[in-house]
Amino acid sequence: MWQTIVLSLLGGVSAGNAFPHFVHGITKKRYPNVTGNGPVPNLVAGWAGLVIAALLLHWAHVLRHPEAAFGAAAVGVLLIGLFHAGPGAFGRPERVG
């Protein structure tokens, strides 16, 4: 069961991280990314993150422990969502005013 929990958590983190990059890529907006801030690097990073998430969830064998898998994936998405909503990868600039 631990393999299911760990892989599902990582799959949730990967999927949750992939969405902002994918969305910014298809809407042609700049967004901080290790491979470049433009739309194409973000689209590719988002796509790769979704593929990695799918592989991790496949390897997690979620049908063996569906409740644990769902819970772990949901926690992973929440954690990366809080990270993006908070400091983000490059910190949050201070707002004046």
Amino acid at 19: F
The tokens describing 29, both together, are 């907006």
In a domain, 94, yes or no: no
- On whether residue 24 sits in a domain, the answer given is yes
Q: Is residue 22 part of a domain?
A: yes
Tell me, what's the pLDDT at 82? 92
What does the alpha-carbon distance between residue 22 and residue 30 come to, in Å, rounded to a whole number? Answer: 11
Domain ranges, residue 17: 2-85
Q: Are 23 and 46 in contact (CB under 8 A)?
A: yes
pLDDT in tens, the chain (97 residues): 999 999 999 999 999 999 999 999 999 998 888 888 899 999 999 999 999 999 999 999 999 999 999 999 999 999 999 998 888 766 666 565 5
The continuous run of DSSP H or E covering 94 comes out as: none
Residue 41 in any domain: the answer is: yes
Q: Is residue 6 part of a domain?
A: yes
| The pLDDT value given to residue 49 | 96
∠28-34-36 over CA atoms, to 5°? 40
Which two structure tokens, joined as six digits, stand for 56? 């991790």
Q: Is residue 95 part of a domain?
A: no
Q: What is the count of structural domains for the chain?
A: 1
